[in-house]
Amino acid sequence: MRYPLTRRTALLGTAGLAATTLSAPAIAQRAPIRLGGLTTLEGPFATGGQDAYRCVQMELERINNTAGGRRIEFIRESSNAQADVALARARKLIEQDNVDIILGPLSGAEGIALRDYSRTLTGRTIVNGSSGAADTTLRNPSPNFFRFNTDGTQWMAGLGNHVFKTMGIKDVAVTAGDYAFPYAQVFGFNIEFCRAGGRSTHYWAPLGTTDFGSQIAQINRSDAGAIVVVHGGTDGLAFMTQYAQSGGSKPLIAGSIMADQSMLSARGPHRRVMIGMISAGPIADVIDDPTWREFVERYRRRWLNEGGFQSPSIHGVNYTTNLLGILHALNAVDGDLSGNQAAFQRALAAASFNAPTGASVKLDHNRQAISDIFLNRIEERDGRAQVVSFARANAVNQTLGTPEAQFLALGSPSRDNPGCVPAST
Amino acid sequence: MAERIVRTGVVALLLTAPFLLLAVLPLNQAQFWTANVLGRAVVFGIIALSLTFLATYGGFISLAQMMIAGTAGYGVAVTVDGAVPSIVGGLPYALAVPLGLLAATAMGLLVGAIAVRTRDIYLLMITLALAMGVFRFVETNIAWFNGYEGIRNVVGPRLFGQDFRNPYVFYYVSLAVALLLYGFVLYLVRTPFGLVLQGIRDNARRVAALGYSVPLHRIAAFGVAGFIAGCGGVLATIYNIGISPGSIGLGPTVNVLIMSVIGGLGHPVGAFIGSLIFTVFDTFAANLYDRDRFNTLIGLVFLVIVLVSPDGVTGIFGRLRGLAGAGKRSARSLASINKP
């Protein structure tokens, strides 16, 4: 009984030895670049994470997995949108899988954790995936953390001025979730709106609120000229449904994750009030730009029959934008990652290219994207509600045009610091 | 006698593990295994040890241990110099760490006091509720805990002229803490306090009839467990370069229970065995199986362990020894294993 087992083990051992000796000389040639992917395939943002990998895979297939003359090996990891899980996965990618570059992560707290981790690394680079917390690059930036996508505050650029100047509304009610991402979005809206002379009244609700009844009653009774809704997911759906049922008729302004296909494809009375809603963000379903039309077309051809969306998600587009930054820099240095990636990182910092939406992208001195933001309106097209871009704010920087020192002095966005500094209170 | 030899052997193996790894793996992978597999397993083993201590000797299954560990982590992160954002700040690690441990011990006592009249499933529920309550509080409180984003850049002290981030410093400090706490638990359960605790586990009413205060002993046991969890929490916070509410959410809370259960709630060593198995699978499952579905593999492995041996991996050892006819000793340890 024992002999066959021993022989098999011996055979396996010999095969293993042979394999190592055979594979050793291959390393001497131009070894592939190891690109580690980190996104969330578990937890609340799992659908966004899946779409991110769809888009990354599609882009890598397009370039035949080659950039700067070297093959790209893509190694996927998954976290669950929590900082320490993302950190553990990133450590594994760097130390065990020996990747040169990490593309990721997806959510805010993960981004800050990886920014801190990147500071402890030499000769490796982390390029953000889709995380959008402002402080990741605004305060204590790390020299080898790059972000080619815009953050939650930038996404609101142009909206405050549009509401005040074009729509002529001087007084708004802001209803928002009581956590970091809505703080950043409300901050971005108020910076422009209050500076123009507008007045905001804030109604905060914790994440997971289902009953907005009293809030809606207060808002309907107030003399606010419009409502700014900065909720996402089920909270947003609950607010819009109850607002529609209350017979509300004020114009609606929305945050970037409110005017979204996940909301528009759900059935219910909210769809009636959402037609005509104005929002701002880094993407829209319909953008009048050939780059975007081509990208959406390609995405639908590749993924519509394999579980993809009608049009790529915000996370998919952000991951693609960051990947394009990496590819751009790899081509610029001809795949050369030597010298602790110094040349590669210089090329990243200097990269200038177009995102899949057609927006131009370049980096500021904190290695944070300066890019275009779209003003969108929800319209009925082809028999379904779609987010249609009607204007574009060009080259929005992280401080929305405010001098950096002045912007930093405003402090981090919070419920006590919603960005409405000059005019109100 | 044999047990002592095994014990010395295991300790020697743990002490030499980084060097053995260096001999068989390339440098960066050896460091990865030292800090991020063994080191992480030891740190989370300490937190699981606090649960195993309560479960084995008191019969209390508490789901609040990860939250209590987080209390220590937040205690350090809020007070220590260099954390971002700086909330109180300014304290050196020599003061911040004891403060964190004090906070965890106090939180342990508080949890014990609140849950003092409950047992079994009700104890489980009330500790879970406390854990989730603190989690939500921390997640929404900006002024003290910086809400969802948490507090970053807790890099750890410099020890003996070496950075704490050095994988070997981290590993050996964690290992030393774990061994001390492990020894402390084994010592404690032989003291009169530990014996009363085991009496409460077996028959609380009889212990009360003998004149011991059952509530006081229960609360004290939770205090001790709080201190142990706090040690793990401080190390975990430094390992994660900071702490955010995600570290004490439902996922990590349940993970600690999983570690304890697959390791076995029969002996304190189960906590470390369970945490090592958990860490290895958590780290490498994605390599072994489809990356989109690797959680299935983790779940299956844990299911198999619990199905094959309801008392975890240590239970398997106990059974083997029972089969080998090691005598009364193993029979006794099996009997204690079968306790809740």
Rounded-to-integer distance, Cα A316 and Cα A57, Å: 10
**Residue B140: which H helix or E strand, with range?**
helix B120-140
DSSP class per residue in A199-253: EEEEEEE-TT----HHHHHHHHHS--SEEEEE--HHHHHHHHHHHHHTT--S-EE
Strand-strand pairing, A125-127 and A101-103:
parallel
- Band of residue A140 on the pLDDT scale cut at 50, 70, 90: confident
- Band of residue B150 on the pLDDT scale cut at 50, 70, 90: confident
DSSP class per residue in B162-226: EETTSHHHHHHHHHHHHHHHHHHHHHHTTSHHHHHHHHHHHHHHHHHHTT--HHHHHHHHHHHHH
A329 or A232: which leads in pLDDT: A329
- Sign of the C-alpha dihedral, residues A39, A44, A45, A46? positive
Q: A246-255, B93-102, B128-137, B151-160: which has the minimum mean pLDDT?
A: B151-160
Q: Is A277 on the interface with B (CB under 8 A)?
A: no
- Band of residue A22 on the pLDDT scale cut at 50, 70, 90: very low
Q: Is A57 on the interface with B (CB under 8 A)?
A: no
B316 or A157: which leads in pLDDT: A157
Rounded-to-integer distance, Cα A262 and Cα A270, Å: 13
Q: Which residues contact A60 (CB under 8 A, 6 or more apart)?
A: A72, A74, A323
Cβ contact B311:B263 at 8 Å:
no
pLDDT score of A27: 42
- Locate tokens 């087992």: which residue? A5
With a CB-CB cutoff of 8 Å, which residues 13-72 of chain B face chain A? Answer: 28-29, 31-32, 36, 40
Q: How many Cβ atoms from other residues are within 10 Å of residue A342's Cβ?
A: 12
What are the CA-CA distances from residue B98 to residues B92, B95, B203 (Å)? 11, 6, 36
pLDDT score of B327: 52
Provide the CATH number for the domain formed by A31-150+289-371 in this structure.
Answer: 3.40.50.2300
Q: A244-258, B100-114, B312-326: which has the minimum mean pLDDT?
A: B312-326
**Residue B312: which H helix or E strand, with range?**
helix B312-323
Q: Tell me, yes or no, if the two domains A31-150+289-371 and A154-281+382-409 fold the same way.
A: yes
pLDDT exceeds cutoff 90 at A216? yes
With a CB-CB cutoff of 8 Å, which residues 119-138 of chain A face chain B? Answer: 120, 133, 135
Average pLDDT, integer, range B4-28 = 86
**Residue A263: which H helix or E strand, with range?**
helix A261-264
pLDDT score of A72: 95
Q: Would you say the pTM of this structure is higher than 0.90?
A: no
Rounded-to-integer distance, Cα B149 and Cα A112, Å: 8
Phi, psi dihedrals of residue B264, rounded to the nearest 5°? 110, 130
The answer to whether the Cβ–Cβ distance between B165 and A120 falls below 8 Å is: yes
Q: Is A246 on the interface with B (CB under 8 A)?
A: no
Average pLDDT, integer, range B70-80 = 95
pLDDT exceeds cutoff 90 at A350? yes
- Give the chain B residue nearest A121 (alpha carbons): B165
pLDDT score of A29: 53
pLDDT exceeds cutoff 80 at A260? no
The answer for A358, left when phi > 0, alpha when psi is -120 to 50, beta otherwise, is left
Q: Which two tokens stand for residue B274?
A: 């369970």
Average pLDDT, integer, range B21-48 = 90
pLDDT score of A353: 95
- Give the chain A residue nearest B26 (alpha carbons): A96
Phi, psi dihedrals of residue A358, rounded to the nearest 5°? 90, -5
Query: Mind listing the pLDDT tens digit for each residue in B189-225?
Result: 999 999 999 999 999 999 999 999 999 999 999 999 9
Average pLDDT, integer, range A342-352 = 95
Share of chain B above pLDDT 70, in %: 94
Q: Which two tokens stand for residue A247?
A: 């017979």
Closest to A192 measured CA to CA, from A227, A220, A155, A237: A155
The separation between the first and the last C-alpha atoms of chain B, rounded to the nearest angstrom, is 29
What are the CA-CA distances from residue A350 to residues A35, A330, A345, B248, B280 (Å)? 20, 12, 9, 40, 40
CB nearest to B149's CB, from A117, A178, A180: A180
Query: Mind listing the pLDDT tens digit for each residue in B269-284?
Result: 999 999 999 999 888 8
Cβ contact A75:A111 at 8 Å:
no
Rounded-to-integer distance, Cα B226 and Cα B229, Å: 5
Q: A2-6, A284-288, B95-99, B277-281: which has the minimum mean pLDDT?
A: A2-6
The answer to whether the Cβ–Cβ distance between B149 and A133 falls below 8 Å is: yes
With a CB-CB cutoff of 8 Å, which residues 266-295 of chain B face chain A? Answer: 282-283, 286, 291-292, 294-295
pLDDT score of A424: 38
Q: Which two tokens stand for residue B276?
A: 């090592």
Rounded-to-integer distance, Cα A160 and Cα B137, Å: 32
- Band of residue B243 on the pLDDT scale cut at 50, 70, 90: very high
The overall average pLDDT reported for chain B is 88
With a CB-CB cutoff of 8 Å, which residues 171-230 of chain B face chain A? Answer: none
- Band of residue A1 on the pLDDT scale cut at 50, 70, 90: very low
Cβ contact A230:A187 at 8 Å:
no
The answer to whether the Cβ–Cβ distance between A81 and B246 falls below 8 Å is: yes
Rounded-to-integer distance, Cα B159 and Cα B76, Å: 17
Q: Is B251 on the interface with A (CB under 8 A)?
A: yes
pLDDT score of A235: 84
pLDDT score of B140: 81
Largest CA-CA distance found in chain B, in angstroms, rounded: 62
pLDDT score of B290: 67
pLDDT score of B333: 53
Rounded-to-integer distance, Cα A307 and Cα A311, Å: 12
pLDDT score of A231: 87
Rounded-to-integer distance, Cα A346 and Cα A349, Å: 5
Task: Choose the most confident range, by mean pLDDT, from A202-206, A269-273, B126-130, B242-246.
Answer: B126-130
pLDDT score of B325: 67
Closest to B281 measured CA to CA, from B259, B252, B313, B254: B259
Number of helices followed by number of strands (H, E) in chain B: 15, 4
Phi, psi dihedrals of residue A392, rounded to the nearest 5°? -140, 130
Share of chain A above pLDDT 90, in %: 60
What are the CA-CA distances from residue A236 to residues A140, A206, A260, B170 (Å)? 33, 12, 11, 45
pLDDT exceeds cutoff 70 at B291? no
The arrangement of secondary structure in A154-281+382-409, i.e. its CATH architecture, is 3-Layer(aba) Sandwich (3.40)
Percent helix / strand / coil, chain B, rounded to 5:
75, 5, 20
Q: Is A114 on the interface with B (CB under 8 A)?
A: no
Query: Mind listing the pLDDT tens digit for each residue in A40-73?
Result: 887 777 888 899 999 999 999 999 999 999 999 9
pLDDT exceeds cutoff 50 at A2? no
pLDDT exceeds cutoff 60 at A423? no
Query: Mind listing the pLDDT tens digit for each residue in A388-419?
Result: 999 999 999 999 988 899 888 888 888 888 88
The overall average pLDDT reported for chain A is 87
- Band of residue B335 on the pLDDT scale cut at 50, 70, 90: low
- Band of residue A367 on the pLDDT scale cut at 50, 70, 90: very high
Give the residue extent of every domain in chain A: 31-150+289-371, 154-281+382-409
Average pLDDT, integer, range B319-329 = 68
pLDDT exceeds cutoff 70 at B60? yes
CB nearest to B291's CB, from A76, A82, A178: A76
CB < 8 Å to B241, chain A: 87, 113, 116-117, 120
B145 SS3 class = helix
A9 or B103: which leads in pLDDT: B103
- Band of residue A25 on the pLDDT scale cut at 50, 70, 90: very low
pLDDT exceeds cutoff 80 at A342? yes
Rounded-to-integer distance, Cα B192 and Cα A361, Å: 70
pLDDT score of B316: 82
Rounded-to-integer distance, Cα A257 and Cα A281, Å: 8
